[in-house]
C-alpha cells in the first residue's frame, strides 16, 4: 500500500512554488518529499519539519541553521541546499535531489561490504565532514541513514539538522540530541560535542560496513549507552575473521572512548583511512565478507532522538535476561553472581558426617581449590596477554605512560614526518592499537616530526629542465613558469624563484620559476619594404622571419610588406619570430560622377565609395556650392583610399 497517498502534502504546492509529488522518508524531526520547483522546472528534495515541532522556536532555529550552514559548504559530497522558507505551519528546506538509496538500504540488503566498497564510501563521507569541520561546523548525527549513494555512484552526506559550530562546546542538562547507536561517550556523559564526535560516529559506521552489525546493541537505549561509555568497540576481525589489522586499527583509532586519543577531525581520519588503504593488497581490498544471516532490523536505535539525560548518566549495567549472572543461581553470599565459575559440586555422601566446623572448612578449601585451578587456567590462556592501548595522536610521554599502565614497555621511538599529525604526537604503534600481545612485551612508537620542511634551492642560472629536476630532488614541486627579459641571465635560464632561495617550505610545496627571455630587442619597422629588405633588417636584429599565407590589399605596391607582428618598436627576445604580411596592391574602385552635385552630396558619395576628398575652391569658389570638375574622371578606377580632388565654383 502506498502510504504517500494518505499524506496531506502530496499533490500540494508549498509557498506557491514547490509541487510535492511523493514522500521519500520520515525522520524524527522532518519528512522528506520529492518535489518539483515550478519556477526552475527541476526536481528537488523538500525537507518539511513536522508541524508539531514548528511551534518550537529552538527546532525552527536549528532547521534554519542547517540551511545556512550547508549553503556555506558548497562541497561535492554534501547535499546542496537551494532554499529555505515557511508556508503556514510548514517550515521547509529545498535541497538537491539524489536519485539512489541510503547506506542503510545497502547494509540492510547486502550486510557486510568488501573493504574496498567500505573505504570507497567512507572516504567521500570524511571529505564532506572535513569540509564542514574546517568551515567550523560539526554534524553531530552521522549514521548510515544520512549517507546517500546516487545511482551514478556519487556519495553525499545529508541532514545537517543537528549542526553546531566547532568552537561552541554544547552542553545540555535536560537531554542529548542524536542517534543512540552512534553517540560518542562525551556526548552521553557530558552532552559536549566537537569534531571528534563525528569521527567516533564514522568509526561506528565503518565497523558496521565491515561486519554488517553495530558494535554495541542491547534491548534498551540505556544498555547501548552504557556500552558506549564502558566497552571498547571490538576489532572488526573478531566478527569477520581475515580482515586485515589495518582496518582494526582504523576502527580503534576512530572509536577511542577517550576523545583526546581520536583523530582531531575528519580530515585527520581521512588521512589515516588513505594510509590504511595504501597498506592493503588488492586481494585484501576485494575479500568477500561471509554471508550474513537474515534478520529483522529494528530501526528504533537508528532514529535521531531526544534522549533524556537520565538515561545518559553512567551507572552499573542492570542484570537482565541477557546477563549470564541472572541464570547463575542464587546463593545468599552472592558468590554465583560475581564469579565466572560455578560453585563446587556437593560432597558425596559420607558414612560419618563431619562436625559443622569441619564441613565448613572442607567446603571453603574445595572452593578455593577450584577457584585456584580456574585462575591458573585463566592465567595460562589469557592472564599473560593484554591488548595494546590506543595511543594515537597522544604525546610521546603520555603514550609511554599508558603503555606502562597496561603492563607493556615502550621501545625505541621512531620518527616520521606527517602533514596531519601534530609534531611530538604518536602517528602509529607496532603492534597496532587493540592487538593481542604478551604482558611486558615491547611496543614501538612512531612519533610525528610534523610536516617535512625543506629549503628552496638556489636556482639562478639553471636551465629550466635542470631547475625542475633539482626541485624534485629536494622534495619540492615545480610550479608556474613565467618569462621576463634579463640583461645578465641567458635566455632559457632561471632568473629567480618564488618562494626565493633559502626559504623553508613544506615538502611538496610548488615553487614558481621566472625564466629569462634574454636581452630585449626592439623590432625594426619594415612596413613598405620589399620582402628581401625586410628579411635582412630583421635577421640582422637577431630575429626570425615568417611570411603569412594570405596577402592583403593596401596602399603599398604588390609584394611590399603591408603589416608586421609584433608591431614596430615593440620589445621581444632575441630569436623571437616576426610575422610579415605582404601587399597584393591597392584595391581599385570605380570613381563615381559628382560633377554638378552640391559639395556635401559629392563628398558623401565619394567617401561611401572609399575615397578621401579634397576641395579646390580658388578665389572664384569661395562662396560656391557646385562641383565643376573632379581629379579622376567618372567611370575610371582609382586605388581605394586614395584622394579625389573636387573643384568648386
> Given pLDDT bands bounded at 50, 70 and 90, which one contains residue 450?
confident
Q: What is the pLDDT of residue 201?
A: 96
Give the pLDDT confidence of 80-117 residue by residue, as tens digits: 888 888 888 888 889 999 988 999 999 998 899 999 99
CA-atom Rg of the chain in angstroms:
42
With 50 as the cut, is the pLDDT of residue 326 above it? no
| Distance (Å, whole) CA 576 – CA 544 | 6
With 90 as the cut, is the pLDDT of residue 507 above it? no
Q: What is the pLDDT of residue 516?
A: 93
Burial of 241 (0-12, 13-18, 19+ CB in 10 A): exposed
Q: What is the pLDDT of residue 178?
A: 61
Residues 178 and 221: beta-carbon distance below 8 Å: no
With 70 as the cut, is the pLDDT of residue 161 above it? no
* Cβ-based neighbours of 45, under 8 Å, separated by 6 or more: 24, 32, 33, 34, 35, 79, 94, 95, 96, 97, 98
Give the pLDDT confidence of 170-189 residue by residue, as tens digits: 433 344 456 788 999 988 88
Residues 399 and 430: beta-carbon distance below 8 Å: no
Q: What is the pLDDT of residue 384?
A: 67
> Given pLDDT bands bounded at 50, 70 and 90, which one contains residue 587?
confident
Residues 1-18 have a mean pLDDT of 76
Give the pLDDT confidence of 55-80 residue by residue, as tens digits: 777 777 777 776 776 777 778 899 88
Beta-sheet pairing, 577-582 with 544-547: parallel
141 is catalytic: yes
Q: How many helices (H) and strands (E) does the chain have?
A: 17, 34
| Distance (Å, whole) CA 601 – CA 581 | 37
Q: What is the pLDDT of residue 152?
A: 82
> ∠ CA(207), CA(209), CA(214), 5° rounding?
50
Exposure string of 247-263, with b = 16+ CB inside 10 Å and e = fewer, is: bbbbbbbbbbbebebbb
Q: What is the pLDDT of residue 367?
A: 42
Mean pLDDT over the full length of the chain: 80
Position with higher pLDDT, 362 vs 406: 406
| Distance (Å, whole) CA 310 – CA 281 | 47
Position with higher pLDDT, 429 vs 506: 429
Position with higher pLDDT, 523 vs 439: 523
Q: What is the pLDDT of residue 377?
A: 37
With 70 as the cut, is the pLDDT of residue 353 above it? no
Catalytic residue chosen out of the listed positions 109, 141, 441, 576: 141
> Given pLDDT bands bounded at 50, 70 and 90, which one contains residue 295?
very low
Position with higher pLDDT, 557 vs 324: 557
Q: Which of 45, 127, 56, 151 is nearest to 92 (CA)?
A: 45
Residues 8-33 have a mean pLDDT of 88
Set out the domains of the chain in order of their start, with CATH numbers. Answer: 3-96 (3.30.200.20), 100-290+302-312 (1.10.510.10), 388-448 (3.30.10.20), 453-516 (3.30.10.20), 520-582 (3.30.10.20), 588-648 (3.30.10.20)
Position with higher pLDDT, 248 vs 301: 248
| Per-residue cell: 12 | 500540494
| Per-residue cell: 451 | 610536516
Percent of the chain at pLDDT > 70 equals 81
* Cβ-based neighbours of 6, under 8 Å, separated by 6 or more: none
Residues 239 and 214: beta-carbon distance below 8 Å: no
* Cβ-based neighbours of 574, under 8 Å, separated by 6 or more: 491, 518, 519, 521, 542, 543
H-helix or E-strand spanning residue 102: strand 100-102
H-helix or E-strand spanning residue 455: strand 453-455
Residues 444-459 have a mean pLDDT of 88
Verify cis geometry, omega within 30 degrees of 0, for the bond prior to 181. Answer: no
Residues 98 and 147: beta-carbon distance below 8 Å: no
3-state helix vs strand vs coil in the chain, percent to 5? 35, 25, 40
With 90 as the cut, is the pLDDT of residue 479 above it? no
Position with higher pLDDT, 341 vs 403: 403
* Cβ-based neighbours of 635, under 8 Å, separated by 6 or more: 590, 591, 593
Q: What is the pLDDT of residue 372?
A: 45
| Partners of 584 in the β-ladder | none
| Distance (Å, whole) CA 507 – CA 473 | 11
C-beta contacts of 217-224 below 8 A and 24+ residues apart? 217/181, 217/301, 218/322, 219/320, 219/321, 219/322, 221/180, 221/301, 221/305, 221/307, 221/311, 222/311, 223/317, 223/320, 224/180, 224/181, 224/301
Q: What is the pLDDT of residue 305?
A: 46
| Partners of 447 in the β-ladder | 415, 426
With 60 as the cut, is the pLDDT of residue 323 above it? no
580 φ, ψ (degrees, to nearest 5): -110, 135
Q: What is the pLDDT of residue 633?
A: 93
Amino acid at each position: 500500500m502506498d502510504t504517500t497517498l494518505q499524506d496531506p502534502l502530496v499533490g500540494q504546492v508549498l509557498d506557491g512554488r514547490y509541487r510535492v509529488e511523493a514522500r521519500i522518508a520520515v525522520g524524527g524531526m522532518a519528512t522528506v518529499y520529492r518535489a518539483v520547483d515550478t519556477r526552475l522546472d527541476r526536481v528537488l528534495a523538500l525537507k518539511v519539519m513536522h508541524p508539531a515541532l514548528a511551534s518550537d522556536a529552538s527546532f525552527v532555529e536549528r532547521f534554519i541553521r542547517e540551511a545556512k550552514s550547508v549553503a556555506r559548504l558548497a562541497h561535492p559530497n554534501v547535499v546542496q541546499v537551494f532554499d529555505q522558507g515557511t508556508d503556514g505551519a510548514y517550515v521547509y528546506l529545498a535541497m538537491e535531489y539524489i536519485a539512489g538509496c541510503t547506506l542503510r538500504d545497502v547494509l540492510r540488503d547486502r550486510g557486510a561490504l568488501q573493504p574496498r566498497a567500505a573505504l570507497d564510501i567512507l572516504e567521500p563521507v570524511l571529505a564532506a565532514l572535513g569540509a564542514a569541520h574546517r568551515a567550523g561546523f560539526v554534524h553531530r548525527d552521522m549514521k548510515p541513514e544520512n549517507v546517500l549513494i546516487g545511482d551514478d555512484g556519487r556519495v553525499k552526506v545529508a541532514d545537517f539538522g543537528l549542526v553546531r559550530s566547532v568552537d561552541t562546546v554544547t552542553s545540555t542538562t535536560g537531554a542529548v540530541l542524536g542517534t543512540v547507536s552512534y553517540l560518542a561517550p562525551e556526548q552521553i556523559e557530558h552532552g559536549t560535542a566537537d569534531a571528534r564526535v563525528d569521527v567516533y560516529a564514522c568509526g561506528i559506521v565503518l565497523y558496521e560496513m565491515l561486519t554488517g552489525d553495530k558494535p554495541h546493541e542491547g534491548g534498551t537505549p540505556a544498555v547501548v549507552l552504557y556500552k558506549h561509555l564502558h566497552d571498547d568497540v571490538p576489532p572488526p576481525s573478531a566478527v569477520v575473521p581475515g580482515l586485515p589489522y589495518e582496518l582494526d586499527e582504523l576502527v580503534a583509532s576512530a572509536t577511542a572512548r577517550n576523545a583526546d586519543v581520536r583523530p582531531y577531525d575528519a580530515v585527520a581520519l581521512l588521512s589515516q583511512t588513505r594510509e590504511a588503504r595504501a597498506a592493503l593488497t588488492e586481494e585484501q581490498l576485494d575479500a568477500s565478507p561471509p554471508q550474513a544471516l537474515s534478520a529483522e532490523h529494528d530501526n528504533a536505535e537508528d532514529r535521531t532522538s531526544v534522549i533524556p539525560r537520565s538515561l545518559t548518566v553512567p551507572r552499573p549495567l542492570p542484570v537482565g535476561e541477557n546477563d549470564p549472572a541472572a541464570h547463575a543461581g542464587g546463593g545468599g553470599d552472592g558468590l554465583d553472581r560475581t564469579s565466572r565459575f560455578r560453585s563446587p559440586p556437593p560432597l558425596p555422601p559420607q558414612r560419618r558426617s563431619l562436625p559443622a566446623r569441619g564441613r565448613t572448612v572442607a567446603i571453603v578449601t574445595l572452593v578455593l581449590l577450584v577457584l585456584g585451578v580456574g585462575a591458573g587456567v585463566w592465567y595460562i590462556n589469557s592472564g599473560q596477554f593484554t591488548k595494546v592501548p590506543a595511543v594515537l595522536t597522544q604525546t610521546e610521554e603520555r603514550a609511554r605512560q599508558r603503555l606502562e599502565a597496561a603492563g607493556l614497555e615502550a621501545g625505541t621511538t621512531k620518527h616520521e614526518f606527517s602533514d596531519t599529525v601534530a609534531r611530538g604526537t604518536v602517528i602509529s604503534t607496532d603492534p597496532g592499537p587493540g592487538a593481542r600481545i604478551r604482558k611486558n612485551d615491547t611496543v614501538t612508537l612512531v612519533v610525528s616530526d610534523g610536516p617535512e620542511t625543506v629549503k628552496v634551492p638556489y636556482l639562478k642560472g639553471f636551465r629550466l629542465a635542470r631547475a625542475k629536476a633539482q626541485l624534485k630532488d629536494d622534495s619540492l614541486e615545480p610550479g608556474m613558469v613565467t618569462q621576463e627579459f634579463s640583461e645578465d641571465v641567458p635566455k632559457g635560464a632561471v632568473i629567480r624563484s618564488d618562494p626565493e632561495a633559502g626559504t623553508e617550505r613544506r615538502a611538496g610545496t610548488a615553487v614558481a620559476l621566472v625564466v629569462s627571455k634574454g636581452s630585449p630587442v626592439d623590432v625594426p619597422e619594415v612596413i613598405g619594404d620589399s620582402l628581401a629588405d625586410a628579411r635582412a633588417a630583421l635577421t640582422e636584429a637577431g630575429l626570425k622571419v615568417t611570411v603569412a599565407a594570405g596577402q592583403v590589399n593596401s596602399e603599398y605596391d604588390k609584394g611590399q610588406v603591408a603589416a608586421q607582428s609584433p608591431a614596430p618598436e615593440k620589445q621581444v627576445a632575441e630569436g623571437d619570430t616576426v610575422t610579415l604580411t605582404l601587399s597584393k596592391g591597392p584595391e581599385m574602385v570605380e570613381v563615381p560622377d559628382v560633377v554638378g552635385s552640391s559639395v556635401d552630396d559629392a563628398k558623401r558619395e565619394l567617401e561611401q565609395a572609399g575615397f578621401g576628398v579634397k576641395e579646390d575652391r580658388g578665389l572664384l569658389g569661395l562662396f560656391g556650392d557646385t562641383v565643376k570638375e573632379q581629379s579622376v574622371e567618372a567611370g575610371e578606377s582609382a586605388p581605394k583610399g586614395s584622394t579625389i580632388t573636387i573643384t568648386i565654383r
